[in-house]
Amino acid sequence: MEENTPATNTAQPGKKSSRLAILCILIAGSLWGCLGLFNRNLSALGIAPETVVMLRNLGACVILAILFLIYDRSIFRIRLRHLPLFLAMGLVSILLFTLCYFRSQQVSSLAVAAIPEGLATVVTVVLSIGVTNMSKHHAVIRRLTAVETLGCTQVICSDKTGTLTQNKMTVVEHTGPTELLGTAMALCNDATLEDGGAVGEPTEAALVNFAAANGLNKGTLESRQPRCGEAPFDSGRKMMSTIHRTDTGFIQYTKGAPDEVLRRCTHYTENGQVLPMTEAKRTELLAANKAMADKALRVLAAAERLYESLPDRQEPEDLEHDLCFLGLAGMIDPVRPEVKAAIEECRQAGIRPIMITGDHIDTAVAIAKELGILEDGKKAVTGAQLSAMSDEEFEKEYPNIAVYARVQPEHKTRIVNAWRNAGYVTAMTGDGVNDAPSIKSADIGVGMGITGTDVTKNVADMVLADDNFATIVKAVKNGRNVYANIKRAIQFLLSGNTAG
């Protein structure tokens, strides 16, 4: 990075700074000329020339102030620590107005001459070059001004799967009867099996491949047990269920987060027998889940339920209870080899990386430690713990939290807003429809080009063509260079115009 600015809570230019500067310069020049047309009419009324110039200056200042407030209403959210800055700005404004009153002609001439009329062109060209350079590094900029804001980024809130990891799942460990587990995982699944392997969402494709590797072809299973009902996956329940017809009736398969599935199980299968679930067995299964998660594996559980006839109501609350636990499947998702170096580069540049994931907290912690996101003195929390925090508690805790696990979409928005309200320029990544609000709330919304939905891409300021965290870091580096070039251009134009 060109500038190693520490991630402290200092004033940084936001998303609107370049637009506001250009807007004020253009409006100032236009108003100066338009208000000058009234000089002759006011003079004809017997008003002294000095008063005419003073009224013109005052009118321009008032109109500019009104336009500024309309353009950026955040001026009304001044914090106490910013008060000295605004007082200083007020004193400077009073001084300039006094000079305009007593030496209006000389000051007016200097003000007009100092306006860099070429700034709008220079800024547009510099931002356009930045957009072109970023596109060569797989970062597609959807809004021109996002280039400048990228250079001011201080916090990056990133998804884990697919951004920090490769999103190439493989089942490497499982518990429970293989045939029953493989059948449940393959049928309670929307991926399809083709000649080259499973096609679909990476997690579901890994489960279909796991079943196929154990002689359980999904096509054959579906012909024997066709699907006749389902309760689709929901991020709140963290599971999905499907109902299938069998020779003796109907069977329901449920797949999802182990802790959530276990909570709904009253029995379990062991050595071909169905036994009542006990607290000792539940503790044993949760320990097995934790052992896999500590190895940075994504773990899913499967369960079943039998019916004599097709249930009339197929809502989740009607289906997902009194389940029989079948087993666990642990999948490895290797981290991207370039991400660890990118995170280290972030820290050197004063940027704080934060991991936000729907995975189990033990899985998230293991990967965060491997990548260097979770350091000494920082901690990981779950979505449930976050929900239990009041706004006042979270305001004290969020600087010390580096990993969020088992989060809901509304948690992401709360995290982003906490950093932004503290004055940090924040970037947020996402790929699902539910991520759109948090991406929209961030200073820089980052959508995924490969796995992202159209909704997410449309609200994002930048789209990653390769879904790679390292690409965000490269884009920030380019953004800092663009911001530095704009500052140099402003200094050159202002000094040249003033000297002239």
Residues β-bridged to residue 353: 156
Question: By the 8 A CB rule, do 167 and 333 touch?
Answer: yes
Which residue in the list 159, 431, 461, 467 is annotated as catalytic?
159
**Residue 336 carries which DSSP code?**
P
Residue 247 known to be catalytic: no
The pair phi, psi for residue 395, each rounded to 5°, is -60, -30
Burial pattern 185-220, b for ≥16 Cβ within 10 A else e, equals bbbbbebebeeeebebbbbbbbbbbbbbeeebebee
211: its two tokens: 């079943």
In 271-366, DSSP assigns E strands to 273-276, 297-307, 323-332, 352-356
Computed on alpha carbons and rounded to an integer, the radius of gyration of the chain in Å comes to 30
Reported residue count of the chain is: 500
Phi-psi region of 191 (alpha: psi -120 to 50; beta: other; left: phi over 0): beta
Residues β-bridged to residue 356: 159, 404
Question: By the 8 A CB rule, do 185 and 326 touch?
Answer: no
Question: By the 8 A CB rule, do 453 and 445 touch?
Answer: no
Burial of 109 (0-12, 13-18, 19+ CB in 10 A): exposed
Active site residues: 159
